[in-house]
Amino acid sequence: MCPAREGRWGQRQRALLCCVLVAALEAAWGQLRYSVPEELPKGSFVGDVAKDLALQLAALRDRGAHILDRGRTRYFALHANSGHLVTAERLDREQLCRLVERCVLRCEVIVEGEMKVYEIEVEITDINDNAPSFREAEMEMRMSEMAAPGSRFPLSKARDPDVGMNSLQSYELSGDEHFSLSVQAGADGEKRPELVLAKALDREEAAFHELVLRASDGGEPSRTGTARIRVSVLDANDNAPVFSQAVYAVRVPEDVPVGSTLLTLTATDADEGLNGNVKYSLKTATDIASEIFHLHPETGSIRLVRSLDFEEGDSYELEAQAQDGGGLSDTVTATILVTDVNDNAPELTVSSALSEISEDAPSGTVVALLHVQDRDSGANGEVRCSLVGDVPFRLRSSVGSYYSVVTARELDREEVSEYNVTVRAADGGSPSLRSSAVLALRVLDVNDNAPVFAEARYSARLAENNAEGALVLTVRAWDADWGQNARVRYRLAEGRVRGAPLSSYVSVQAETGALYALRSFDYEEVREVGLWVRAEDGGAPALSSNVSVRLLIVDENDNAPQVLYPPAAAPGASWTGVELAPRSAEPGALVAKVVAVDADAGQNAWLSYELAKATEPGLFRVGLHSGEVRTARSPLARDAPRHSLVVVVKDQGRPALSATATLTVVLAESVAELLSELGSAAAPAEPAGSLTRWLVLAVAAVSCLFLAFLLLLLALRLRRWRRSQLLPPASGALRGVPASHFVGIDGVRAFLHSYSHEVSLTADSRKSQRRWAADSCCNTLPARPPPDKAAPLLGEDAAGARGAQPDALPCLYYILII
C-alpha cells in the first residue's frame, strides 16, 4: 500500500473514532440524536433508547418512563416493553418546519424512579414529496409594442416546500421566439425568473403571445410545475410607473393592532389618462405573508389583516408591482421586520414530581423536575426561577432548560406533614411576566419518635380490700409519629412483690394503658407497690419508653383492736387475771392497765378506752387514751372485796371497731386474803366433778408448799437476826417483794416487759405499799416486740438484782398462782 493511501485510511479511522467518541459523550450526558425521513406512518421505529442510554428494561417497566414533548402535539412514544422510540403521528416536514432548513424535533425521556432527564433530538429529513408550484397557474402580462428588445419583466416565482436538492432548481420557458428566460439569483439565494424581450413586438402582427413557464426540482424522480403566460401587445405607452423608493422597509412591534396600516407604497406615472392610472398588486409573497398582509390596489397601503407573532416569523418580504393602464409596470421589494414584545409569559411545566417523600430522605433528594421556556427572545426570553416562601427545598439547574427541586435539609413530618411548594418563573421583560406551578408533597412518616408519657411519674391510692379487677389508674403515652408508628401498646416491666411475680398483683391493658388490680390488697401486708410500665410503638424497629408507677395502699378500718392484757379467757375459765388493789389505796391509784393494739394505721389505729361495766360504778375509772385503770375514790369497808370491770377498747375508724377486756380487781390487804378471796370465788364457779377435785388437790398442795416456804423463810430470817446480833448492826428492813400482775399465759411476756410493779409486805398489812414502774404509762403496746430486745419474764428492776436473795422468793409463789 502506498503512503498516500495509508494516510487517507488513517484519516478515515480518526474521523470514525471521533464520531464514535462524540456519540459516546452525548450518550453519557443523556442526549441522543436520531434521524428519520418524513411521512413515516404512525408507530415507525426511530431508535433504541434503552440500549443507547444503557437502561434496563426491567427498570423502565417498574419505575416508569415517558416521553415529554414541548409542542402541542405528541410526535413520539416510548414502548416500555422494548425501550424503542417510535413515531406517534405522521410527520410532515413541510408542516412542522416551515421556512426552516434543518427540521429538528426535541423531546425528553423522563425515568420516574431516577428523576433523570434524557434529551432526544430527532431530525426529520426531507423527501421529494412536493412539486414546484406557482401561485397563479395563469399569468396575464401587458407589453407596449414600443418596448425595446432586451427589456426585462419579472415573473412570479415558483414555490417548493422541499429543501436541498428536492427544492426548486431550474426554470424553462417555451412557446415563442419573441421572448427568452433569464434567471437571477437573489440576495437570499432564491432564483427569480425574468421574461426578456428578445424581438420587437408588433401588435398588427400578433396581438397576443402564449408562453409556458416550467419549474423543476432536483429530486429523484424530478417533479415539475408549470404556469401559462399570456402576453398582450398594447399600443404605445410612453412612460412606465416608477416607485418613489427602490426598497421599502418598516419595523413594527408584534403587538400592533390588526387593521393597522404598516406601510404605503407610492408609484407615479408621467402619462395621462388611462396610461397614467397606476394599480398596485403583490407580485410575489409567501402563503403566510398573503394571509397576514393586504395591499390596497388603489392607495398602495399595506394593511395588517392578522396579528403578528414574532415567535412565528420575525420578517416578511413582499414583492409589489405597480402597473398603469397601458400595461407598463414597476416592481419593488417591501420588507416588514417584526420586533419582539414581551407578550409571552414563561411556560413552567412539571415534567416529573414525587407526591410522597420519606422524612429521612437525605439532603439533595430530587422531588421534582421542571422545564421552563419563554417564546420571547432576548431579555424577554430570559427566565429566572425561584421558590416562594421559607421551605426546606431549593432549585438546582439541570440539563438545558430543566430545573430540579431538591431537599435543602432533612425533613421532619412531626413539624410539617405536607408541603405546597410554589415555583415561580419570571422573565426579564419590562414589565416582567410571571408564571408559577405548585408542587403538593406529602411527607411520609419514619419511626423516629419514641412514645412520651403525659406525666413524668404516676402515683395512685388504692383502698385496701379492693375488688379484684378494680381500675387503679390509666397511664397515657403519645407518639408524635403517624399510622402504625404512632400506635402505642403498654405492658408491665418484670418485677416481684413479696416474692410473688408483679403480674399476679396488677395488670395493664395493652391498648388503653388502664392499670387493674388482680387481687385484693391488704394494707397490713402490702403498703406500697412500685412498678414500671413500658409504652412501645408499632414501628420497625419499635421504640419504647418507661414510666414509674407508685401504688399506695390506703388503710381501711378492717381490724378491730386486739387486747393483749388482760388476755382472753380460756375455755371453762371463770377469770383470766386478777388485779390486787389495797383497801387503803388513795384516789387515782393505779390498779391495772389495759393493753391493746390495732393492726390498722393512722386514725384507724388510735385507740380509746372506756369503762363499760363495773360492779361498783363509781369506784374505778379508765384513762381515755392510756387504758390505765385507777381508783376513782378510796375503797370503803362496805365495798365488795371482788370487782369485775368490763373495758371497751375502740378505734377511730369509720365505722369504729371495738373489743372488750374483763378485769377482776380484788380489794385485799394481804396475799392470804387475796388467796382466800380467789378461792371462795372460784369454788362456786366450778362444776362438780373431777375437775373440782383436782383443783382442791392443787390448792392443798400449793398451801402446803406455801407453809413450807414460810417456815423456811422464818428460819432464814432468824438466822440473819442471829448474825446481826453477833456482827455489827446493819440497817435493814423487810424489803419489798417484787411481783407482777396476774396475767394470762398468752400475753405475759409482752405485758411484764412494759408494765410491772413491786409489792412490799410488812407485818402490818395495812401498811403494805405498791410501787409502779415508770414504763407502765404507755398507751398501747406494739404488735410485735422489738427484735433486739428479749421479753423478760420478770422486770429486771424488780427481780434481776435480787433474784438470788431470800427476799425475792415470794415472787415464785405469785407465779405459781398464775
In this prediction, residue 596 carries a pLDDT of: 94
| pLDDT at res. 804 | 34
pLDDT band with cut points at 50, 70 and 90 for residue 206: confident
> What is the structure's pLDDT at 251?
94
The per-residue DSSP string of 19-42 comes to HHHHHHHHHHTTEEEEEEETTPPT
Among all chains, which residue has been given the C-alpha cell 426585462?
A: 152
| CA dist., res. 736 & res. 768, Å (int) | 9
Mean pLDDT on 692-701: 82
AA identity, residue 290? S
The H-or-E segment that residue 7 falls in is helix 3-28
Q: What is the pLDDT of residues 425-470, one digit of tens each?
A: 999 988 899 999 999 999 999 999 999 999 999 999 999 999 999 9
Question: What per-residue confidence (pLDDT) applies to 534?
Answer: 96
State pLDDT tens for residues 575-606: 556 788 888 889 999 999 999 999 888 889 89
pLDDT of res. 95: 84
Chain-centroid distance, C-alpha 41: 53
Among 247-251, 360-364, 802-806, the minimum mean pLDDT is found in 802-806
Nearest to 334 by CA among 251, 239, 240: 251
Query: How many Å apart are CA 814 and CA 818, to the nearest integer?
Result: 6
Phi-psi region of 350 (alpha: psi -120 to 50; beta: other; left: phi over 0): beta
Beta strands 544-554 and 528-537 are antiparallel
CB under 8 Å to 574, separation ≥6 — which residues?
681, 682, 685, 686
Average pLDDT of the segment spanning 18-41: 65
Look at residue 224 in the predicted model and tell me its pLDDT.
Answer: 94
Return the C-alpha cell found at 243.
416607485
Q: What b/e sequence results for 703-727 when a residue is b if at least 16 CB atoms lie within 10 Å of its CB, and e otherwise?
A: eeebeeeeeeeeeeeeeeeeeeeee
Mean pLDDT across the chain, nearest whole number? 80
Given a cut of 50, whether residue 689 has pLDDT beyond it is yes
Tell me: pLDDT of 254 over 60.
yes
Q: How confident is the model at residue 728 (pLDDT cuts 50, 70, 90)?
A: low
Share of the chain above pLDDT 90, in %: 40
What are the pLDDT digits (tens) for 511-544?
Answer: 999 999 999 999 988 999 999 999 999 999 999 9
pLDDT at residue 394, rounded to an integer: 94
pLDDT exceeds 50 at position 678: yes
Digit-coded pLDDT (tens) for 491-510: 999 889 888 999 999 999 99
Q: Are 535 and 451 in contact (CB under 8 A)?
A: yes
- Please report, to the nearest 10 degrees, the dihedral formed by the alpha carbons of residues 459, 465, 469, 470 taken in order: -50
Q: How far is CA 501 from the centre of its chain?
A: 38
Q: Name, in order, each residue with C-beta under 8 angstroms of 296's C-beta and a sequence gap of 6 or more.
A: 280, 302, 303
Cα gap 787→720, rounded to integer Å = 43
Nearest to 155 by CA among 176, 140, 175: 140
Residue 748 burial (CB < 10 Å; 0-12/13-18/19+)? buried
- Please give the average per-residue pLDDT across 294-299, as a whole number: 93
Please report which confidence band the pLDDT of residue 75 belongs to, taking 50, 70 and 90 as the band edges. confident
**Residue 815, pLDDT score:** 42
Higher pLDDT, 612 or 758: 612
What cell numbers appear for 410 in the block?
A: 432533612
Is residue 794 over pLDDT 60?
A: no
Mean pLDDT of 143-168: 86
Could you report the per-residue pLDDT of 613-627, keeping only the tens digit for each?
A: 998 888 999 999 999
* Tens digit of each residue's pLDDT (9 = 90 or more) over 85-118: 999 889 888 888 876 788 998 888 887 766 777 8
pLDDT exceeding 70 applies to what percent of the chain?
79
pLDDT category at 20 given cuts 50, 70, 90 is: very low
Instruction: Flag whether the pTM goes above 0.85.
Output: no
| C-alpha torsion 395→397→398→402, nearest 10 | 80
Q: β-pairing, 544-554 with 457-463?
A: parallel
DSSP class of residue 3 equals H
| Average confidence (pLDDT) over 302-313 | 90
**Distance between CA atoms of 508 and 490, rounded to whole angstroms?**
7
The pLDDT confidence band at residue 202, using thresholds 50, 70 and 90, is confident
Task: Examine the pLDDT at 816 and tell me if it is beyond 60.
Answer: no
pLDDT in the model for residue 576: 58
Amino acid at 171: Y
Q: What is the pLDDT of residue 296?
A: 93
Cα–Cα distance list, 364 to 13, 360, 369, 395, 474 (Å)? 44, 12, 13, 10, 45
